Each structure stands twice: as C-alpha cells, then as structure tokens.
Structure 1
Amino acid sequence: MNGKMFARLGAVVFVAVAITATAIELTRKEEAPASPSARPTESASVDPLRDELIRCQFLGEAGTRDTACLHAWARNRERFLAAAARPAERLPESPQSPRPTASSATTAPAEDDPIRKETAPVMAPEPGEAR
C-alpha cells in the first residue's frame, strides 16, 4: 500500500464519522426547558435601588448632575461600606514590625540585602577606554 491509498482511506473514514455525527445530532430530541420554579421570577428580584442605578448608568455624564442619582450612589455606598455590612469575624491583626531607630537608619545596608547585591557599582571609564 502506498501513501495515496492511506490518504483515501483516511478521507473515507473522516467522511463516515462526520455523517454519523450529523445523523446522531439531527435525531436527538431537544431537552425540555427547566421548570418555571427553577427560574428566578422578576418580582422576586425587584430592587428599586438597582433600577435607579441602572437608570443613572444610562444617563451617562448627566447622572453626575442628577440629584436622584447622587442619592442612589450614596445609598449604594452605604450598602457596602456600612458597619453592618462588614463580617463579624475579623482577620487577626498582623504583627507589628519593629520601627527603625535613628541609629539603625543611618547604618549601611546589610551584606545580604538583595538590592545591594544586584546593583553593580558605577565605574568611571579609564582614559584609553572607548565608550
């Protein structure tokens, strides 16, 4: 068998698989939509603040001058930034790092300082050296 025969055989197999997949897809029945109780109802998600914020969004730049939009944005900020909106359990406080004293701030950096290690000293070119 030569290369042409393998190419033809591969093409025939590919076409047969494509026709079979198409036939299976066409004979498949459509699934019934989810039950109405599974969908959220429009009346359950009515939020007047959300509706006002959407209206202000459509106003664009004019929303910054609209007093109703300014009040809606303030109420929205209060919703997320109010003390009641914060979780009761707080993260543990991070340990305080020791503050540097005046004498330690004036000393030279340690030898294990990565910034100092990576920075090469500036050297002036020698008189006969080309730049």
Structure 2
Amino acid sequence: MSPRLSFRLAAAAFAVLAILIATLQARRPSTTPAPASTNTDRVVTPQAARLARCQSLGAAGAEDPDCLKAWDEARAQFLGTKKVER
C-alpha cells in the first residue's frame, strides 16, 4: 500500500469519526442547568443597600461623596485593611 493511499484512508476515517461524534452529540438530550437558588431570606445590610444605590447611579456615583465613602469601606473590608476616612 502506498503512503499516499494510507494517508487518504486515514483522513477519510478521521472525517467519518468526526461526523459520527457530531451526530451523537446532536442527538443527545440537552441537560438544563439547575435553577439558581432564589434566597429571599437574605439579610440586606446597610452597606449593601448603599452600594446598590451607588450602582444604580451609574457614572454619577463616581462623583457622589457618599458612594466614594461606601466603596472605600467595602474595599477596606474586602482587603482587610483600615477604613479610609474621606
């Protein structure tokens, strides 16, 4: 058997295998992810409420002193550093 013929047979076998795998995947029933838990018992802290208000302000929140202070406090709490006074 010539090398050229073996290469063509190997390429054809690879193409058939790829088509077979694609067909099997397409026929496989789709799995839907589990619904996200809707935890309505979550306690909203005052800091979270302030941050939510600042987020709703959009770009104007970058100039709001209360938002800047809330973000500094959240950053300090996350990083475990001292609070920054503004």
TM interval, shorter chain, is: 0.5 to 0.7
For 2:65, the equivalent position in structure 1 comes to: 67
CA separation in 1, counterparts of 2:39 and 2:33? 18
CA separation in 2, counterparts of 1:45 and 1:10? 62
What is the percentage of aligned positions where both structures have the same residue? 25
Taking the TM superposition and a 5 Å limit, the aligned residue runs for 1:79-90 are 79=77, 80-81=80-81
The number of residue pairs the alignment matches comes to 76
Cα distance, 1:32 vs structure 2: 2.8
Q: Which runs of 5+ in 2 are unaligned?
A: none
Cα distance, 1:55 vs structure 2: 4.1
The amino acid that maps onto 2:11 is A
Q: Which runs of 5+ in 1 are unaligned?
A: 83-131
* Cα distance change, pair 51–40 in 1 and its aligned pair in 2 (3 A): farther
Q: Going by fraction, where is helix more abundant, 1 or 2?
A: 2
Work out which of the two has the higher radius of gyration on C-alpha atoms and give 1 or 2: 1
- Which structure is higher in RCO with an 8 Å CA cutoff and minimum separation 6? 2
CA separation in 2, counterparts of 1:77 and 1:5? 66
Matched, 1:51 2:49: no
Q: Normalising by the residue count of structure 2, what TM-score does the alignment of the two structures yield?
A: 0.60
Contact 2:54 2:67 in 1 (8 A): yes
Matched, 1:8 2:5: no
* Cα distance change, pair 69–33 in 1 and its aligned pair in 2 (3 A): same
Q: Normalising by the residue count of structure 1, what TM-score does the alignment of the two structures yield?
A: 0.44
The amino acid that maps onto 1:8 is R
